[in-house]
Amino acid sequence: MNDAACQCKQRFADPDDLAPLEEILERYSGERGALIPLLQDAQEAYGYLDERVMRALAREAGYQLSQVYGVATFYTQFRLEPIGEHLIRVCHGTACHVAGAELISEEISNLLGIKDGQTTPDMKFTVESVMCVGACSLSPIMIVDDDTHGKLKPANIRRIIKKYRGGGGETEE
Ligand code: FES
């Protein structure tokens, strides 16, 4: 199997390993009111906010667990479930919307059989809608992991997804 496109298999830490969280806590030590950035960094490290991570964060940073849960569940930017190996973010900011982002999302949904915010049963892909990511001149765009794909047409999507499945299709449109 061609693994060339799977550069991010291990991109998230295991929630049983609290070393990344300790580094994050160290970064914000002594800062009051840093709960949101703490959670953002924890999510960046683990891919989502696992209960073990939130419990440790609350204990070590001196927050009530209910406060941590309250913030994590209030803001839509936080995920409480593991995400797939590849995160597809489709921009639905104004420029991308006007340029056809809805059609891009529909095509992804048709190809993967999942809706916005869902993960494929094989844990390969998670799809999320995001607001403007600051690359409007390339609209409509989607970002897969750290790669930006711009000026998309629905017909491009199958080939891009195939690349991340490890099935080739590396040539850009
Ligand atoms: S609206 Fe999509 S990048 Fe700005």
What pLDDT digit, counting tens, does each position of 86-110 carry?
999 999 999 999 999 999 999 999 9
Name the nearest CA neighbour of 21 among 4, 5, 40, 8.
40
Are 139 and 95 found together in one domain? yes
% of residues, the chain, pLDDT over 70? 90
115 falls within a domain: yes
Q: Which domain holds residue 150?
A: 86-165
From ligand 1's centre to the CA of 85, what distance in Å? Answer: 24
Residues 115-133: pLDDT tens digits?
998 999 999 999 999 999 9
Are 56 and 126 found together in one domain? no
Residues 6+ positions from 17 with CB-CB distance below 8 Å: none
Average pLDDT in the 26-46 region? 92
7 lines ligand 1 (CB under 6 A): no
From ligand 1's centre to the CA of 147, what distance in Å? Answer: 15
116 falls within a domain: yes
172 falls within a domain: no
Are 103 and 138 found together in one domain? yes
Average pLDDT in the 145-157 region? 95
131 falls within a domain: yes
Are 37 and 90 found together in one domain? no
142 falls within a domain: yes
Are 54 and 93 found together in one domain? no
Are 156 and 105 found together in one domain? yes
From ligand 1's centre to the CA of 97, what distance in Å? Answer: 8
Q: Which of 98, 133, 152 to mutate to test the pocket of ligand 1 (most atoms within 8 A of CB)?
A: 133
Which domain CATH number covers 94? 3.40.30.10
From the alpha carbon of 97, which atom of ligand 1 is closest?
A: 1
Are 138 and 111 found together in one domain? yes
